Copies of this chain bind each other. A is one copy, B any other.
Amino acid sequence: MKNFIYKNPTKIIFGEGQIAKLSDEIPTDAKILMLYGGGSIKKNGIYDQVMEALGSRTLVEFGGVPANPEYEVLMEAVELISKEKLDYILAVGGGSVIDGAKFIAAAVNYKGEEPWDILAKGEEIHEAVPFSTVLTLPATGSEMNSGAVISRRSTKDKHSFGSPLLYPQCSILDPTVIHSLPKRQLANGVVDSFNHVLEQYLTYPTDAILQDHFAESILQTLVEVGEKVIENPKDYKMASNFMWSCTMALNGLIAQGVPTDWGVHGIGHELTALYGIDHARTLAIVGPRYYEHTFESKKVKLAQYAERVWNIGEGSLEDKAKQAINKTESFYHSLGVDTRLSDYTDDYEGTAETIEKRFSERGWEGIGENKSVTPNDVKEIIKATY
């Protein structure tokens, strides 16, 4: 087990009817920027619950944060906070809105040249506006971690950043918020969280026995609830386990003391930037082919995954490892998620070369837990997804 430092101070308030508890968590004299996305919260009742909980607190709304939150849009919110002298952010939404809140929180008092440097140059932040969240879409885990991914439309860039100052103070997780979500978004949530675990688990064998079991616990749970939660999001047992699994998949716990990969995400981000494919679906496209391409270095862990998550007891180590990849891809299909780039765009020719070029231009010599997946490997992996 590698050495690690772990601290996660976010307060989780979990359960049906818990949005009302916001009134105990946000200071009564807070001047709030309330951030949300496309406005579905005004149709499904979440907006009304939040407003009732906040009572007479000063509040300015900022709606319209897009999926893959964009720098240009978020900078408008930064200006609004300064202009209105607001001092608290409440993100009501999924990962995009929460990630956006983190960037805004970091950018408001940024002392450097321009806040873009936080993303492009990894400039450290020294203070952040306090914020809390009401999660409306389980998937990214952003509600209990301190990282975010932000895009810039003008340059087709997508950068991640983070800071210990960017944990939400409080996150409300009410599993009934998923009642009105489209099946597409529910499936995305299952695939996204599943891949978060795989990125922290499918590397090389380590001495972290407990972390492996924890990772497998989340995978097992997502396999058990995935199809059912999409079929009937009003099944509270399925919804609550789905929601808590998404949070636990990326709140840092299972990453402690182990190597992590994140190559599937790195390549997937490029597909979103180029074609606007849903983030989770890019992971379903890239993942299986990535594991085939890195088979030799990952096969021991793939076989362990086969045995413990998919109950595959028969066959050689290689057989089990291959079956694990097949099972993973079939799982995505069972959720209604396609796994070929050509399922999403007819324009896929040349994608591999384009992305190889982007990786090379950034000077990335290699990605993955061994930094061994080169731009040329990325090209081969993407070709295999056609």
Whether A248 sits at the interface, judged by CB under 8 Å, is yes
Kindly state the separation between the CA atoms of A17 and B213 in the bound complex, as whole angstroms. 26
| B257:A244 contact, CB within 8 angstroms | yes
Given B6, B17, B175, B224, which contacts A209 in the complex, CB threshold below 8 Å? B224
Kindly state the separation between the CA atoms of A4 and B1 in the bound complex, as whole angstroms. 31
| B16:A240 contact, CB within 8 angstroms | no
Complex contacts, A224 vs chain B, CB 8 Å? 209
Complex contacts, A11 vs chain B, CB 8 Å? 5-7
Complex contacts, A43 vs chain B, CB 8 Å? none
Residue of B nearest to A239 (CB): B1
Within 8 A of B (CB), among A200-239: 207-211, 213-214, 216-218, 220-221, 224-225, 236-237
Complex contacts, A185 vs chain B, CB 8 Å? none
| A213:B220 contact, CB within 8 angstroms | yes
Kindly state the separation between the CA atoms of A3 and B241 in the bound complex, as whole angstroms. 12
| B1:A6 contact, CB within 8 angstroms | no
A45 to chain B, nearest CB (A): 18
Residue of B nearest to A208 (CB): B241
Kindly state the separation between the CA atoms of A358 and B241 in the bound complex, as whole angstroms. 41
Complex contacts, A240 vs chain B, CB 8 Å? 1, 207-208, 257
Known: A217-B210, A241-B208. A14 touches B6 (CB 8 A): yes
| B236:A207 contact, CB within 8 angstroms | yes
Whether A2 sits at the interface, judged by CB under 8 Å, is yes
Kindly state the separation between the CA atoms of A217 and B218 in the bound complex, as whole angstroms. 11
| B216:A210 contact, CB within 8 angstroms | no
| A241:B1 contact, CB within 8 angstroms | yes
Whether A385 sits at the interface, judged by CB under 8 Å, is no
Complex contacts, A2 vs chain B, CB 8 Å? 15
Whether A163 sits at the interface, judged by CB under 8 Å, is no
Whether A8 sits at the interface, judged by CB under 8 Å, is yes
A367 to chain B, nearest CB (A): 26
Complex contacts, A10 vs chain B, CB 8 Å? 7
A211 to chain B, nearest CB (A): 8
Kindly state the separation between the CA atoms of A282 and B138 in the bound complex, as whole angstroms. 43
Complex contacts, A225 vs chain B, CB 8 Å? 209
| B7:A12 contact, CB within 8 angstroms | yes
Q: Which of A18, A218, A221 has the most CB of B within 10 A?
A: A221
Whether A109 sits at the interface, judged by CB under 8 Å, is no
| B217:A14 contact, CB within 8 angstroms | no
Q: Which of A175, A208, A236 has the most CB of B within 10 A?
A: A208
Given B175, B210, B256, which contacts A245 in the complex, CB threshold below 8 Å? B210
| B241:A207 contact, CB within 8 angstroms | yes
Complex contacts, A336 vs chain B, CB 8 Å? none
Whether A112 sits at the interface, judged by CB under 8 Å, is no
Q: Sort A-B residue pairs by CB-CB distance and give the 5 closest, nearest first.
A: A3-B15, A213-B217, A7-B11, A207-B237, A9-B9
Which residues of A approach B to under 8 Å, CB–CB?
Answer: 1-18, 175, 207-211, 213-214, 216-218, 220-221, 224-225, 236-237, 240-241, 244-245, 248, 253, 256-257
